[in-house]
Structure 1
Protein backbone atom coordinates (compact mmCIF):
# COMPACT_ATOMS: atom_id res chain seq x y z
CA UNK A 1 0.00 0.00 0.00
CA UNK A 2 1.27 3.47 -0.93
CA UNK A 3 0.79 6.39 1.42
CA UNK A 4 0.67 9.67 -0.50
CA UNK A 5 0.58 13.08 1.18
CA UNK A 6 -1.42 15.48 -1.00
CA UNK A 7 -0.80 19.13 -0.09
CA UNK A 8 -3.29 21.73 -1.30
CA UNK A 9 -1.39 24.82 -2.43
CA UNK A 10 -4.26 27.21 -1.69
CA UNK A 11 -4.98 29.04 1.52
CA UNK A 12 -8.49 28.82 3.00
CA UNK A 13 -10.12 31.44 0.79
CA UNK A 14 -8.57 29.94 -2.33
CA UNK A 15 -9.73 26.45 -1.39
CA UNK A 16 -13.26 27.71 -0.77
CA UNK A 17 -13.39 29.52 -4.10
CA UNK A 18 -12.01 26.52 -5.97
CA UNK A 19 -14.52 24.20 -4.31
CA UNK A 20 -17.39 26.56 -5.12
CA UNK A 21 -16.71 26.38 -8.88
CA UNK A 22 -15.26 22.87 -9.24
CA UNK A 23 -17.21 21.03 -6.54
CA UNK A 24 -13.98 19.89 -4.87
CA UNK A 25 -10.66 21.28 -3.75
CA UNK A 26 -7.43 20.96 -5.73
CA UNK A 27 -6.21 18.34 -3.26
CA UNK A 28 -9.42 16.32 -3.70
CA UNK A 29 -8.98 16.43 -7.47
CA UNK A 30 -5.43 15.10 -7.14
CA UNK A 31 -6.46 12.43 -4.64
CA UNK A 32 -9.09 11.14 -7.06
CA UNK A 33 -6.58 10.94 -9.90
CA UNK A 34 -3.92 9.29 -7.74
CA UNK A 35 -6.30 6.65 -6.43
CA UNK A 36 -7.55 5.92 -9.94
CA UNK A 37 -3.98 5.41 -11.16
CA UNK A 38 -2.89 3.56 -8.02
CA UNK A 39 -5.84 1.72 -6.43
CA UNK A 40 -3.55 0.57 -3.62
CA UNK A 41 -2.80 4.17 -2.61
CA UNK A 42 -4.11 5.95 0.47
CA UNK A 43 -4.12 9.73 0.09
CA UNK A 44 -3.67 11.92 3.14
CA UNK A 45 -4.83 15.48 2.47
CA UNK A 46 -3.10 18.49 4.01
CA UNK A 47 -3.43 22.27 3.81
CA UNK A 48 0.09 23.53 4.59
CA UNK A 49 -0.73 27.15 3.72
CA UNK A 50 -2.74 27.40 6.97
CA UNK A 51 -1.08 28.55 10.17
CA UNK A 52 -2.86 25.82 12.14
CA UNK A 53 -2.15 23.03 9.66
CA UNK A 54 -1.15 19.66 11.06
CA UNK A 55 0.13 16.94 8.77
CA UNK A 56 -2.26 13.96 8.84
CA UNK A 57 0.71 11.59 8.52
CA UNK A 58 4.41 12.11 9.19
CA UNK A 59 6.61 12.66 6.15
CA UNK A 60 8.76 9.71 7.12
CA UNK A 61 5.67 7.48 7.01
CA UNK A 62 4.73 8.60 3.49
CA UNK A 63 5.93 7.29 0.14
CA UNK A 64 5.60 10.61 -1.70
CA UNK A 65 4.39 14.19 -1.51
CA UNK A 66 2.20 15.81 -4.17
CA UNK A 67 1.69 19.59 -4.26
CA UNK A 68 -1.24 21.07 -6.17
CA UNK A 69 -1.72 24.36 -7.97
CA UNK A 70 -2.52 27.58 -6.12
CA UNK A 71 -3.69 31.16 -6.52
CA UNK A 72 -0.71 32.30 -4.43
CA UNK A 73 2.46 33.83 -5.89
CA UNK A 74 5.85 32.62 -4.68
CA UNK A 75 7.43 36.03 -5.24
CA UNK A 76 4.94 37.64 -2.84
CA UNK A 77 6.34 35.63 0.05
CA UNK A 78 4.49 35.60 3.36
CA UNK A 79 3.72 32.85 5.86
CA UNK A 80 1.40 30.84 3.57
CA UNK A 81 4.19 30.63 0.98
CA UNK A 82 6.96 30.00 3.50
CA UNK A 83 5.11 27.13 5.15
CA UNK A 84 4.75 25.34 1.83
CA UNK A 85 8.37 25.93 0.90
CA UNK A 86 9.35 24.47 4.27
CA UNK A 87 7.20 21.38 3.67
CA UNK A 88 8.69 20.65 0.25
CA UNK A 89 12.20 21.31 1.58
CA UNK A 90 11.59 18.88 4.46
CA UNK A 91 10.16 16.22 2.14
CA UNK A 92 13.17 16.38 -0.17
CA UNK A 93 15.54 16.37 2.80
CA UNK A 94 13.80 13.20 3.98
CA UNK A 95 14.48 11.60 0.58
CA UNK A 96 10.85 11.58 -0.56
CA UNK A 97 9.78 11.67 -4.19
CA UNK A 98 7.78 14.88 -4.74
CA UNK A 99 5.47 15.76 -7.63
CA UNK A 100 3.92 19.13 -8.35
CA UNK A 101 2.10 20.93 -11.12
CA UNK A 102 2.05 24.69 -11.70
CA UNK A 103 2.46 26.13 -8.19
CA UNK A 104 4.22 22.96 -7.09
CA UNK A 105 6.93 23.45 -9.73
CA UNK A 106 7.40 27.07 -8.72
CA UNK A 107 7.80 26.18 -5.04
CA UNK A 108 10.28 23.38 -5.74
CA UNK A 109 12.35 25.57 -8.06
CA UNK A 110 12.41 28.39 -5.52
CA UNK A 111 13.66 26.30 -2.61
CA UNK A 112 16.39 24.82 -4.83
CA UNK A 113 17.73 28.25 -5.79
CA UNK A 114 15.74 29.06 -8.92
CA UNK A 115 13.35 31.93 -9.58
CA UNK A 116 9.61 31.91 -10.21
CA UNK A 117 7.79 35.06 -11.31
CA UNK A 118 5.29 36.39 -13.81
CA UNK A 119 6.12 34.96 -17.22
CA UNK A 120 7.36 37.84 -19.42
CA UNK A 121 6.10 35.99 -22.50
CA UNK A 122 2.56 36.05 -21.16
CA UNK A 123 0.15 33.64 -19.49
CA UNK A 124 -1.22 30.32 -20.66
CA UNK A 125 -4.97 29.92 -20.24
CA UNK A 126 -6.82 26.76 -21.17
CA UNK A 127 -4.16 24.72 -22.93
CA UNK A 128 -0.39 24.86 -23.23
CA UNK A 129 0.26 24.13 -26.88
CA UNK A 130 3.01 22.26 -28.72
CA UNK A 131 5.04 21.18 -25.68
CA UNK A 132 8.13 19.21 -26.66
CA UNK A 133 11.04 17.54 -24.93
CA UNK A 134 14.40 19.14 -24.50
CA UNK A 135 17.43 16.98 -25.41
CA UNK A 136 17.79 16.20 -21.69
CA UNK A 137 14.16 15.11 -21.56
CA UNK A 138 14.32 12.84 -24.60
CA UNK A 139 14.47 9.61 -22.59
CA UNK A 140 13.36 10.84 -19.20
CA UNK A 141 10.83 8.53 -17.49
CA UNK A 142 8.57 11.41 -16.43
CA UNK A 143 7.62 11.95 -20.08
CA UNK A 144 7.53 8.29 -21.13
CA UNK A 145 4.74 7.69 -23.64
CA UNK A 146 4.33 11.29 -24.73
CA UNK A 147 4.46 11.95 -28.49
CA UNK A 148 7.03 14.34 -30.01
CA UNK A 149 4.71 17.27 -29.27
CA UNK A 150 1.61 17.51 -27.10
CA UNK A 151 -0.88 19.92 -25.55
CA UNK A 152 -1.94 19.93 -21.91
CA UNK A 153 -4.33 21.82 -19.61
CA UNK A 154 -2.66 24.97 -18.27
CA UNK A 155 -3.71 28.05 -16.33
CA UNK A 156 -0.92 30.29 -15.09
CA UNK A 157 0.55 33.77 -15.09
CA UNK A 158 3.63 32.79 -13.07
CA UNK A 159 6.24 30.25 -14.08
CA UNK A 160 9.80 29.14 -13.42
CA UNK A 161 11.86 31.82 -15.14
CA UNK A 162 15.30 30.72 -13.93
CA UNK A 163 15.59 26.97 -13.20
CA UNK A 164 17.66 26.09 -10.15
CA UNK A 165 21.33 25.12 -10.48
CA UNK A 166 21.77 21.44 -11.25
CA UNK A 167 18.14 20.91 -12.27
CA UNK A 168 17.18 19.24 -15.55
CA UNK A 169 14.64 21.01 -17.77
CA UNK A 170 12.73 18.26 -19.57
CA UNK A 171 10.22 20.08 -21.78
CA UNK A 172 9.16 23.52 -22.96
CA UNK A 173 7.26 25.36 -25.66
CA UNK A 174 7.33 28.75 -27.36
CA UNK A 175 5.60 30.38 -24.37
CA UNK A 176 7.76 28.92 -21.63
CA UNK A 177 11.15 27.21 -21.47
CA UNK A 178 10.29 25.21 -18.32
CA UNK A 179 7.17 23.11 -18.88
CA UNK A 180 8.61 20.03 -17.14
CA UNK A 181 11.59 19.67 -14.83
CA UNK A 182 13.51 17.37 -12.52
CA UNK A 183 15.07 18.84 -9.38
CA UNK A 184 17.29 16.84 -7.02
CA UNK A 185 17.95 18.00 -3.47
CA UNK A 186 20.02 15.55 -1.44
CA UNK A 187 18.32 12.17 -1.69
CA UNK A 188 14.99 13.75 -2.62
CA UNK A 189 13.74 13.94 -6.21
CA UNK A 190 11.14 16.35 -7.57
CA UNK A 191 9.38 15.75 -10.87
CA UNK A 192 6.86 18.30 -12.05
CA UNK A 193 5.08 20.12 -14.82
CA UNK A 194 4.01 23.72 -15.22
CA UNK A 195 0.90 22.40 -16.94
CA UNK A 196 -1.90 20.53 -15.15
CA UNK A 197 -2.08 16.82 -16.07
CA UNK A 198 -4.56 16.31 -13.23
CA UNK A 199 -7.31 18.56 -14.59
CA UNK A 200 -10.34 17.42 -16.55
CA UNK A 201 -11.72 19.85 -19.11
CA UNK A 202 -14.73 20.76 -16.97
CA UNK A 203 -12.34 21.90 -14.22
CA UNK A 204 -10.32 23.87 -16.77
CA UNK A 205 -13.57 25.53 -17.87
CA UNK A 206 -14.50 26.41 -14.27
CA UNK A 207 -11.06 27.84 -13.54
CA UNK A 208 -11.14 29.88 -16.74
CA UNK A 209 -14.37 31.49 -15.58
CA UNK A 210 -12.58 32.53 -12.38
CA UNK A 211 -9.79 34.01 -14.51
CA UNK A 212 -12.07 35.70 -17.05
CA UNK A 213 -10.73 39.21 -16.47
CA UNK A 214 -7.14 38.00 -16.83
CA UNK A 215 -7.90 36.13 -20.05
CA UNK A 216 -9.42 39.26 -21.58
CA UNK A 217 -6.59 41.45 -20.30
CA UNK A 218 -4.09 39.10 -21.94
CA UNK A 219 -5.89 39.57 -25.27
CA UNK A 220 -6.84 35.90 -25.57
CA UNK A 221 -10.58 36.65 -25.74
CA UNK A 222 -12.21 39.89 -26.89
CA UNK A 223 -14.53 40.01 -23.89
CA UNK A 224 -15.81 37.93 -21.00
CA UNK A 225 -18.79 36.72 -23.01
CA UNK A 226 -16.40 35.09 -25.49
CA UNK A 227 -14.47 33.55 -22.62
CA UNK A 228 -17.63 32.04 -21.15
CA UNK A 229 -18.59 30.66 -24.57
CA UNK A 230 -15.16 29.01 -24.82
CA UNK A 231 -15.53 27.59 -21.31
CA UNK A 232 -19.00 26.27 -22.21
CA UNK A 233 -17.49 24.45 -25.18
CA UNK A 234 -14.76 22.87 -23.04
CA UNK A 235 -17.37 21.76 -20.50
CA UNK A 236 -19.57 20.24 -23.20
CA UNK A 237 -16.61 18.42 -24.73
CA UNK A 238 -15.76 16.98 -21.31
CA UNK A 239 -19.31 15.73 -20.92
CA UNK A 240 -19.35 13.97 -24.31
CA UNK A 241 -15.80 13.59 -25.66
CA UNK A 242 -16.71 10.89 -28.19
CA UNK A 243 -19.95 12.45 -29.34
CA UNK A 244 -18.65 15.96 -29.96
CA UNK A 245 -15.84 15.69 -32.53
CA UNK A 246 -17.03 19.08 -33.79
CA UNK A 247 -16.01 20.70 -30.50
CA UNK A 248 -12.69 18.85 -30.38
CA UNK A 249 -11.96 20.07 -33.92
CA UNK A 250 -13.06 23.65 -33.25
CA UNK A 251 -11.09 23.91 -30.02
CA UNK A 252 -8.06 22.03 -31.34
CA UNK A 253 -8.22 19.47 -28.53
CA UNK A 254 -6.39 16.23 -29.30
CA UNK A 255 -6.41 12.80 -27.70
CA UNK A 256 -3.44 13.75 -25.48
CA UNK A 257 -5.91 16.01 -23.66
CA UNK A 258 -9.17 14.15 -24.20
CA UNK A 259 -8.13 10.67 -23.06
CA UNK A 260 -7.62 10.63 -19.27
CA UNK A 261 -4.84 8.02 -19.29
CA UNK A 262 -2.88 10.08 -21.81
CA UNK A 263 -3.57 13.44 -20.17
CA UNK A 264 -2.42 12.11 -16.78
CA UNK A 265 0.66 10.36 -18.13
CA UNK A 266 3.18 12.28 -16.01
CA UNK A 267 1.35 11.46 -12.78
CA UNK A 268 1.23 7.78 -13.68
CA UNK A 269 4.92 7.84 -14.59
CA UNK A 270 5.76 9.49 -11.28
CA UNK A 271 3.95 6.74 -9.38
CA UNK A 272 5.26 3.81 -11.41
CA UNK A 273 8.77 4.94 -12.32
CA UNK A 274 9.81 6.87 -9.24
CA UNK A 275 7.60 6.22 -6.20
CA UNK A 276 7.21 2.45 -6.65
CA UNK A 277 10.82 2.02 -7.76
CA UNK A 278 12.05 3.80 -4.62
CA UNK A 279 9.60 1.88 -2.47
CA UNK A 280 10.94 -1.45 -3.79
CA UNK A 281 14.53 -0.31 -3.36
CA UNK A 282 13.84 0.62 0.26
Structure 2
Protein backbone atom coordinates (compact mmCIF):
# COMPACT_ATOMS: atom_id res chain seq x y z
CA UNK A 1 0.00 0.00 0.00
CA UNK A 2 1.91 3.10 -1.20
CA UNK A 3 2.24 6.02 1.17
CA UNK A 4 2.41 9.43 -0.52
CA UNK A 5 2.92 12.90 0.90
CA UNK A 6 1.10 15.69 -0.96
CA UNK A 7 2.81 19.07 -0.61
CA UNK A 8 0.34 21.96 -0.97
CA UNK A 9 1.99 24.88 -2.77
CA UNK A 10 -0.53 27.59 -1.88
CA UNK A 11 -0.83 29.80 1.15
CA UNK A 12 -4.05 29.70 3.17
CA UNK A 13 -5.20 32.81 1.29
CA UNK A 14 -4.41 31.18 -2.04
CA UNK A 15 -6.48 28.17 -1.05
CA UNK A 16 -9.35 30.45 -0.05
CA UNK A 17 -9.28 32.21 -3.44
CA UNK A 18 -9.33 28.89 -5.27
CA UNK A 19 -12.45 27.75 -3.41
CA UNK A 20 -14.13 31.15 -3.91
CA UNK A 21 -13.72 30.69 -7.68
CA UNK A 22 -15.52 27.32 -7.47
CA UNK A 23 -12.26 25.38 -7.49
CA UNK A 24 -10.66 22.97 -5.03
CA UNK A 25 -7.74 23.23 -2.66
CA UNK A 26 -4.81 21.87 -4.64
CA UNK A 27 -4.02 19.17 -2.10
CA UNK A 28 -7.61 17.86 -2.16
CA UNK A 29 -7.65 17.80 -5.96
CA UNK A 30 -4.33 15.92 -5.99
CA UNK A 31 -5.61 13.42 -3.44
CA UNK A 32 -8.69 12.77 -5.56
CA UNK A 33 -6.59 12.24 -8.69
CA UNK A 34 -4.13 9.91 -6.97
CA UNK A 35 -6.96 7.83 -5.53
CA UNK A 36 -8.56 7.62 -8.96
CA UNK A 37 -5.36 5.95 -10.13
CA UNK A 38 -5.05 3.68 -7.12
CA UNK A 39 -7.50 3.31 -4.28
CA UNK A 40 -5.31 1.66 -1.66
CA UNK A 41 -3.21 4.72 -0.83
CA UNK A 42 -2.16 6.25 2.45
CA UNK A 43 -1.94 10.01 1.96
CA UNK A 44 -0.41 12.73 4.07
CA UNK A 45 -0.45 16.49 3.45
CA UNK A 46 2.12 19.17 4.21
CA UNK A 47 1.57 22.94 4.08
CA UNK A 48 5.05 24.51 3.93
CA UNK A 49 3.72 27.87 2.66
CA UNK A 50 1.86 28.37 5.95
CA UNK A 51 3.79 30.01 8.82
CA UNK A 52 4.43 27.99 11.96
CA UNK A 53 3.16 24.76 10.38
CA UNK A 54 4.67 21.45 11.47
CA UNK A 55 6.47 19.70 8.61
CA UNK A 56 7.75 16.12 8.45
CA UNK A 57 11.41 15.84 9.35
CA UNK A 58 13.94 13.73 7.47
CA UNK A 59 13.07 10.56 9.38
CA UNK A 60 9.34 11.05 8.84
CA UNK A 61 9.82 11.71 5.12
CA UNK A 62 11.67 8.41 4.70
CA UNK A 63 8.48 6.60 5.70
CA UNK A 64 6.85 7.76 2.44
CA UNK A 65 7.11 6.05 -0.94
CA UNK A 66 6.61 9.28 -2.91
CA UNK A 67 6.19 13.04 -2.54
CA UNK A 68 3.87 14.96 -4.89
CA UNK A 69 4.00 18.76 -5.20
CA UNK A 70 0.89 20.66 -6.27
CA UNK A 71 0.55 23.84 -8.28
CA UNK A 72 0.43 27.30 -6.68
CA UNK A 73 -0.47 30.91 -7.42
CA UNK A 74 2.93 31.99 -6.04
CA UNK A 75 5.94 33.05 -8.12
CA UNK A 76 9.19 31.51 -6.95
CA UNK A 77 11.32 34.51 -8.03
CA UNK A 78 9.34 36.82 -5.73
CA UNK A 79 10.85 35.06 -2.72
CA UNK A 80 9.45 35.71 0.71
CA UNK A 81 8.99 33.31 3.63
CA UNK A 82 6.14 31.39 1.96
CA UNK A 83 8.49 30.57 -0.95
CA UNK A 84 11.68 30.06 1.06
CA UNK A 85 9.99 27.57 3.39
CA UNK A 86 8.96 25.49 0.37
CA UNK A 87 12.43 25.57 -1.18
CA UNK A 88 14.00 24.50 2.10
CA UNK A 89 11.44 21.72 2.54
CA UNK A 90 12.11 20.51 -1.00
CA UNK A 91 15.83 20.27 -0.19
CA UNK A 92 14.94 18.16 2.84
CA UNK A 93 12.83 15.98 0.55
CA UNK A 94 15.82 15.53 -1.76
CA UNK A 95 17.94 14.53 1.24
CA UNK A 96 15.38 11.87 2.17
CA UNK A 97 15.91 10.10 -1.16
CA UNK A 98 12.13 9.70 -1.63
CA UNK A 99 11.04 10.09 -5.31
CA UNK A 100 9.23 13.37 -6.01
CA UNK A 101 6.74 14.51 -8.66
CA UNK A 102 5.87 18.13 -9.33
CA UNK A 103 3.05 19.76 -11.32
CA UNK A 104 3.65 23.32 -12.58
CA UNK A 105 4.73 25.13 -9.38
CA UNK A 106 5.99 21.78 -8.14
CA UNK A 107 8.39 21.51 -11.09
CA UNK A 108 9.54 25.09 -10.51
CA UNK A 109 10.21 24.56 -6.79
CA UNK A 110 12.14 21.38 -7.49
CA UNK A 111 14.24 23.09 -10.17
CA UNK A 112 15.11 26.11 -8.04
CA UNK A 113 15.79 24.01 -4.92
CA UNK A 114 18.25 21.99 -7.02
CA UNK A 115 20.06 25.05 -8.40
CA UNK A 116 18.09 26.00 -11.54
CA UNK A 117 16.14 29.18 -12.32
CA UNK A 118 12.54 30.17 -13.06
CA UNK A 119 11.37 33.46 -14.60
CA UNK A 120 8.21 35.04 -15.99
CA UNK A 121 7.60 33.79 -19.53
CA UNK A 122 8.24 36.59 -22.08
CA UNK A 123 5.75 34.84 -24.39
CA UNK A 124 2.99 35.34 -21.84
CA UNK A 125 0.57 33.06 -20.04
CA UNK A 126 -0.32 29.52 -21.10
CA UNK A 127 -3.86 28.75 -19.95
CA UNK A 128 -6.55 26.24 -20.79
CA UNK A 129 -4.50 23.80 -22.82
CA UNK A 130 -0.78 23.49 -23.44
CA UNK A 131 -0.80 22.73 -27.15
CA UNK A 132 1.37 20.32 -29.09
CA UNK A 133 3.68 19.18 -26.30
CA UNK A 134 6.46 17.24 -28.00
CA UNK A 135 8.51 14.52 -26.35
CA UNK A 136 12.26 14.73 -26.72
CA UNK A 137 14.36 11.66 -27.41
CA UNK A 138 14.93 11.40 -23.65
CA UNK A 139 11.19 11.79 -23.06
CA UNK A 140 10.27 9.01 -25.44
CA UNK A 141 12.58 6.67 -23.53
CA UNK A 142 11.57 7.82 -20.05
CA UNK A 143 9.07 5.84 -17.93
CA UNK A 144 7.11 9.05 -17.23
CA UNK A 145 5.80 8.91 -20.78
CA UNK A 146 5.18 5.21 -21.22
CA UNK A 147 2.08 4.87 -23.41
CA UNK A 148 2.06 8.54 -24.44
CA UNK A 149 2.13 9.62 -28.09
CA UNK A 150 5.05 11.78 -29.19
CA UNK A 151 2.77 14.84 -29.39
CA UNK A 152 -0.15 15.62 -27.07
CA UNK A 153 -2.09 18.44 -25.39
CA UNK A 154 -2.50 18.88 -21.64
CA UNK A 155 -4.50 21.04 -19.25
CA UNK A 156 -2.30 23.92 -18.11
CA UNK A 157 -2.20 27.31 -16.45
CA UNK A 158 1.08 29.13 -15.79
CA UNK A 159 2.88 32.38 -16.46
CA UNK A 160 6.35 31.30 -15.29
CA UNK A 161 8.78 28.91 -16.95
CA UNK A 162 12.00 27.07 -16.17
CA UNK A 163 14.85 29.03 -17.76
CA UNK A 164 17.82 27.00 -16.49
CA UNK A 165 17.80 23.42 -15.30
CA UNK A 166 19.86 21.83 -12.51
CA UNK A 167 23.03 20.01 -13.41
CA UNK A 168 22.48 16.71 -15.27
CA UNK A 169 18.75 17.37 -15.77
CA UNK A 170 17.06 16.00 -18.88
CA UNK A 171 14.36 17.83 -20.79
CA UNK A 172 11.61 15.31 -21.50
CA UNK A 173 9.08 17.50 -23.34
CA UNK A 174 8.67 21.00 -24.76
CA UNK A 175 6.36 23.13 -26.90
CA UNK A 176 6.23 26.56 -28.50
CA UNK A 177 5.59 28.26 -25.14
CA UNK A 178 8.50 26.78 -23.20
CA UNK A 179 11.51 24.58 -23.86
CA UNK A 180 10.78 22.77 -20.56
CA UNK A 181 7.31 21.22 -20.40
CA UNK A 182 8.79 18.31 -18.47
CA UNK A 183 12.14 17.44 -16.93
CA UNK A 184 13.79 14.77 -14.80
CA UNK A 185 16.80 15.18 -12.54
CA UNK A 186 18.36 13.81 -9.40
CA UNK A 187 19.86 15.42 -6.30
CA UNK A 188 21.85 12.85 -4.37
CA UNK A 189 19.57 9.83 -4.05
CA UNK A 190 16.43 11.91 -4.64
CA UNK A 191 14.82 11.57 -8.07
CA UNK A 192 12.50 14.34 -9.30
CA UNK A 193 10.08 14.18 -12.23
CA UNK A 194 8.23 17.38 -13.03
CA UNK A 195 5.81 18.72 -15.64
CA UNK A 196 4.83 22.32 -16.39
CA UNK A 197 1.20 21.35 -17.01
CA UNK A 198 -1.40 19.85 -14.66
CA UNK A 199 -2.16 16.13 -15.14
CA UNK A 200 -4.21 16.23 -11.94
CA UNK A 201 -6.57 18.97 -13.16
CA UNK A 202 -10.13 18.56 -14.31
CA UNK A 203 -11.70 21.00 -16.76
CA UNK A 204 -13.68 22.40 -13.85
CA UNK A 205 -10.44 23.27 -12.13
CA UNK A 206 -9.05 25.12 -15.14
CA UNK A 207 -12.39 26.96 -15.35
CA UNK A 208 -11.90 28.05 -11.73
CA UNK A 209 -8.43 29.34 -12.65
CA UNK A 210 -9.92 31.32 -15.52
CA UNK A 211 -12.42 32.87 -13.11
CA UNK A 212 -9.64 33.84 -10.71
CA UNK A 213 -7.59 35.49 -13.45
CA UNK A 214 -10.46 37.05 -15.44
CA UNK A 215 -9.22 40.64 -15.24
CA UNK A 216 -5.70 39.61 -16.21
CA UNK A 217 -6.92 37.51 -19.12
CA UNK A 218 -8.80 40.49 -20.54
CA UNK A 219 -5.80 42.76 -19.99
CA UNK A 220 -3.50 40.24 -21.70
CA UNK A 221 -5.78 40.02 -24.74
CA UNK A 222 -7.15 36.50 -24.30
CA UNK A 223 -10.69 37.91 -24.21
CA UNK A 224 -12.27 41.22 -25.13
CA UNK A 225 -14.57 41.34 -22.11
CA UNK A 226 -14.94 39.74 -18.71
CA UNK A 227 -18.27 38.30 -19.90
CA UNK A 228 -16.46 36.49 -22.74
CA UNK A 229 -13.93 35.13 -20.25
CA UNK A 230 -16.74 33.90 -17.99
CA UNK A 231 -18.43 32.16 -20.92
CA UNK A 232 -15.16 30.44 -21.85
CA UNK A 233 -14.72 29.28 -18.26
CA UNK A 234 -18.21 27.78 -18.21
CA UNK A 235 -17.54 26.08 -21.54
CA UNK A 236 -14.31 24.56 -20.24
CA UNK A 237 -16.14 23.28 -17.16
CA UNK A 238 -18.67 21.56 -19.44
CA UNK A 239 -15.94 19.33 -20.91
CA UNK A 240 -15.89 17.30 -17.69
CA UNK A 241 -19.30 16.10 -18.92
CA UNK A 242 -18.10 15.75 -22.51
CA UNK A 243 -19.27 19.16 -23.76
CA UNK A 244 -20.82 19.59 -27.19
CA UNK A 245 -19.25 18.57 -30.47
CA UNK A 246 -19.24 22.21 -31.55
CA UNK A 247 -17.47 23.41 -28.41
CA UNK A 248 -14.92 20.61 -28.63
CA UNK A 249 -14.19 21.64 -32.23
CA UNK A 250 -13.96 25.38 -31.45
CA UNK A 251 -11.68 24.88 -28.43
CA UNK A 252 -9.67 22.05 -30.00
CA UNK A 253 -10.37 19.63 -27.17
CA UNK A 254 -9.47 16.07 -28.14
CA UNK A 255 -9.32 12.64 -26.51
CA UNK A 256 -5.88 13.23 -24.97
CA UNK A 257 -7.46 15.70 -22.55
CA UNK A 258 -11.10 14.55 -22.54
CA UNK A 259 -10.25 11.05 -21.30
CA UNK A 260 -9.41 11.21 -17.56
CA UNK A 261 -7.17 8.15 -17.86
CA UNK A 262 -5.11 9.88 -20.54
CA UNK A 263 -4.85 13.09 -18.52
CA UNK A 264 -3.66 11.07 -15.51
CA UNK A 265 -1.28 8.83 -17.45
CA UNK A 266 1.88 10.66 -16.37
CA UNK A 267 0.90 10.50 -12.70
CA UNK A 268 -0.06 6.86 -13.10
CA UNK A 269 3.36 6.12 -14.58
CA UNK A 270 5.04 7.85 -11.62
CA UNK A 271 2.88 5.84 -9.24
CA UNK A 272 4.00 2.67 -10.95
CA UNK A 273 7.61 3.81 -10.68
CA UNK A 274 7.47 4.44 -6.93
CA UNK A 275 5.61 1.17 -6.35
CA UNK A 276 8.42 -0.72 -8.06
CA UNK A 277 11.22 1.11 -6.26
Which TM-score tier does this pair reach, normalised by the shorter chain?
A: over 0.9
* Residues 102 and 194, structure 2, Cα contact 8 Å, conserved in 1: yes
Q: Which whole-Å CA distance do the structure 1 matches of 2:19 and 2:45 have between them?
A: 15
Cα RMSD for the two superposed structures? 1.4
Give the alignment partner of residue 184 of structure 2, picking from 179, 182, 188.
182
Structure-to-structure mapping, 1:93-242, within 5 angstroms: 93-238=95-240, 240-241=241-242
* Residues 44 and 56, structure 1, Cα contact 8 Å, conserved in 2: no
Q: How far has the Cα of 1:56 moved from its partner?
A: 6.4
Structure 1 runs (4+) deviating above 4 angstroms are: none
1:115-173 CA distance string (max 9 Å, x none): 00101121101110000111221211111111121111111111111122210110000
* Residues 30 and 68, structure 1, Cα contact 8 Å, conserved in 2: yes
Match of 1:11 in 2: 11
Match of 1:33 in 2: 33
Q: How far has the Cα of 1:244 moved from its partner?
A: 2.1
Report the 3-state secondary structure (helix = DSSP H, G, I; strand = E; otherwise coil) of the residue aligned with 1:29.
helix
Q: Which whole-Å CA distance do the structure 2 matches of 1:236 and 1:224 have between them?
A: 19
Match of 2:2 in 1: 2
* Residues 24 and 205, structure 2, Cα contact 8 Å, conserved in 1: no
Q: Which whole-Å CA distance do the structure 1 matches of 2:24 and 2:238 have between them?
A: 19
* Residues 35 and 43, structure 1, Cα contact 8 Å, conserved in 2: no
TM-score (norm 2): 0.96
1:70-119 CA distance string (max 9 Å, x none): 11111011111111111111111111100111100110110111100101
TM-score (norm 1): 0.94
Q: Which whole-Å CA distance do the structure 2 matches of 1:45 and 1:214 have between them?
A: 31
Report the 3-state secondary structure (helix = DSSP H, G, I; strand = E; otherwise coil) of the residue aligned with 2:21.
helix
Aligned length: 275
